[in-house]
A = this chain, B = another copy of it.
């Protein structure tokens, strides 16, 4: 049995274990080379881009489904993942997108999927709940799903047109990320174990999309007492060597719990 047939059969069999009309979509943020990035999937057949998402099993909580999607796509578990908004327009297709039943049939045919059960499922209206995750790109191993040829980290500026209302979902996720910057475990999730103060500052700047004042940033962050100063980092550059820092996990957890109280 070829790959497609196997997928189609498994999917068809799983459909009656799925909760209809609900889905989850994940906006997975990573940080690399001083840029905030989002994990996107590209469809095999028509090269359209979308967010990683999935359906909910009847015996599975919505939040668990989001965790599962994240695990399946990134290999990461025990990750910072937060629900942020539910998108429930009656027609979530883009204005220019062909969302007729015929178009859906055609898209499935392009994959070699002929099952009427799957076709019926795909034509349903789905109310989707958006989750955003913060992950350390170096630790991930992005895996495309069956529908997708590739799984790519795109910077915010590079985000292409996405299917349905996915661009809107990403926009809203970025908005939440910015607003909640002061209450989120940003650094711990997105940075390597040891990092310089500049690394952390660039991260905050990438998220906020504006520069922050160096000396004030340093003082404010250190005053929170969640960082431990380690050895100096000799980059080889002709300038003073910065200290490396690591998170004091206990204090960090405590701060997050109490609400960091940090503002820009």
User: A125 contacts which chain B residues (CB < 8 A)?
Assistant: 19, 58
Which one of A19, A125, A129 has the greatest number of beta carbons of chain B within 10 Å?
A19
| A59 CA to B90 CA, complexed, in Å | 6
Report the separation of the CA atoms of residues A63 and B86 in the bound assembly, to the nearest whole angstrom: 10
A76-113: which residues lie under 8 A (CB-CB) from chain B?
A: 83, 85-90
- Measured between alpha carbons, how far is A90 from B56 in the docked complex, in Å? 10
How distant is A130 from chain B, measured CB to nearest CB, in Å? 9
Interface assignment of A32: CB less than 8 Å from any CB of chain B:
no
Any chain B CB within 8 A of the CB of A185? Answer: no
Within 21-38 of A, Cβ neighbours of B (below 8 Å) are at: 21-22
CB-defined interface of A58-69 with B at 8 Å, one 1/0 digit per residue? 111111010000
* Residues of B contacting A85 in the complex (Cβ-Cβ under 8 angstroms): 83
Alpha-carbon distance between A22 and B56 when the two chains are bound, in angstroms: 13
Cβ of A54 < 8 Å from any Cβ of B?
no
Shortest distance from the beta carbon of A118 to any chain B beta carbon, whole Å: 18
> Which residue of chain B is the closest to A24 with respect to CB atoms?
B88
Would you give 19 A-B contacts (Cβ < 8 Å), ordered by A? A19-B21, A19-B127, A21-B21, A22-B22, A22-B88, A22-B127, A56-B127, A58-B125, A59-B90, A61-B89, A61-B90, A62-B87, A62-B89, A62-B127, A63-B88, A65-B88, A83-B86, A88-B129, A127-B127
